[in-house]
């Protein structure tokens, strides 16, 4: 019974909590504190505070913690799955719909129009990262990392994971 309650406590906020984390927190609180009494209001507040200090989505962190407290590792797995299930099901449905109409001229035109917008968004993100790097690490280190990464990508065709690892090592050695 506890697994079903865990599933429902996190599945329902996942369905109706449009916007993710901040929008679903009150819904999760209602389910785990008021409806199923898995934790107290004070415990929920402490989990929320701790969860906000860690990287990643707040809903999955809270699901893992509450699920583990309620039913151990299987409970954490059930709560985590219930948190991601609504998005997973929506993506499967929408991708199957898109795949069905992939040869449609309208879908092809739509993807043609989306590509420039995605490129601009990625470019803006790259500029923000570059500015942040210049502010935090300094212009010299930013240029060395940028030029070195470009060289490794274009000349040696090194896999991006290894380029990121090299940049991390550079940061550990020269910036710490």
Q: Tens of pLDDT along 91-114?
A: 999 999 888 988 899 888 888 888
**Which residue, of 44, 72, 101, is where some domain finishes?**
101
Task: Scan for tokens 């790097």, then name that residue.
Answer: 133
Q: Look at residue 59 and tell me if it is in a domain.
A: yes
Q: Are 163 and 152 in contact (CB under 8 A)?
A: yes
Cα–Cα–Cα angle for 95, 97, 103, rounded to 5 degrees: 100
Check residue 138 and give its pLDDT: 87
Write b or e for each residue in 13-26: b if 16 or more Cβ atoms lie within 10 A of its Cβ, otherwise e: bbeebeeebeebbe
Same domain for 31 and 83, yes or no, is: yes
Check residue 93 and give its pLDDT: 93
Same domain for 86 and 124, yes or no, is: no
Q: Is 75 or 49 the better-scoring residue by pLDDT? A: 75
Which tokens go with 41?
Answer: 């209001």
> Lowest mean pLDDT: which of 8-22, 50-64, 108-122?
8-22
Reduce the DSSP state of residue 136 to 3 states and report it: helix
**Which residue, of 101, 130, 148, is where some domain finishes?**
101
Same domain for 121 and 89, yes or no, is: no
What value does the mean pLDDT of the chain take? 89
Same domain for 69 and 92, yes or no, is: yes
Give 8's pLDDT tier (boundaries 50, 70, 90). Answer: very high
Check residue 19 and give its pLDDT: 65
CA-wise closest residue to 13 among 62, 72, 73 = 62
Q: Are 33 and 41 in contact (CB under 8 A)?
A: yes
Same domain for 128 and 93, yes or no, is: no
What is the maximal distance between C-alpha atoms in the chain? 59
- Per-residue pLDDT, averaged over 78-96, amounts to 93
- Per-residue pLDDT, averaged over 102-131, amounts to 87
Same domain for 150 and 125, yes or no, is: yes
Same domain for 12 and 96, yes or no, is: yes
Same domain for 20 and 93, yes or no, is: yes
Same domain for 133 and 94, yes or no, is: no
DSSP, res 31: I
Please report which residue ranges of the chain form alpha helices under DSSP H.
2-16, 21-29, 41-53, 58-100, 105-136, 139-154, 160-175
Q: Look at residue 26 and tell me if it is in a domain.
A: yes
Write b or e for each residue in 72-89: b if 16 or more Cβ atoms lie within 10 A of its Cβ, otherwise e: eeebbbbbbbbbbebeee
Domain that holds residue 149: 114-174
- The domain total for the chain is 2
Reduce the DSSP state of residue 17 to 3 states and report it: coil
**pTM value surpassing 0.85:** no
Q: Look at residue 106 and tell me if it is in a domain.
A: no
């Amino acid at each position: 019974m506890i697994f079903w309650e865990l599933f429902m406590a996190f599945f329902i906020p996942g369905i109706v909590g449009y916007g993710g984390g901040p929008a679903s927190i009150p819904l999760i609180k209602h389910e785990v504190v008021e409806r199923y009494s898995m934790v107290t209001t004070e415990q929920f507040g402490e989990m929320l505070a701790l969860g906000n200090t860690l990287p990643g989505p707040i809903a999955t962190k809270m699901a893992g913690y509450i699920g583990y407290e309620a039913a151990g590792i299987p409970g954490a797995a059930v709560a985590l799955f219930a948190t991601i299930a609504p998005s997973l099901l929506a993506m499967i449905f929408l991708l199957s719909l898109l795949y069905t109409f992939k040869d449609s001229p309208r879908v092809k035109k739509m993807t043609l129009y989306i590509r420039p917008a995605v490129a601009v968004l990625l470019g803006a993100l790259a500029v923000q990262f570059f500015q942040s790097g210049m502010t935090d690490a300094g212009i010299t280190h930013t240029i060395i990392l940028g030029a070195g990464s470009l060289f490794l990508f274009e000349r040696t065709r090194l896999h991006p994971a290894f380029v990121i690892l090299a940049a991390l090592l550079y940061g550990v050695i020269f910036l710490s």
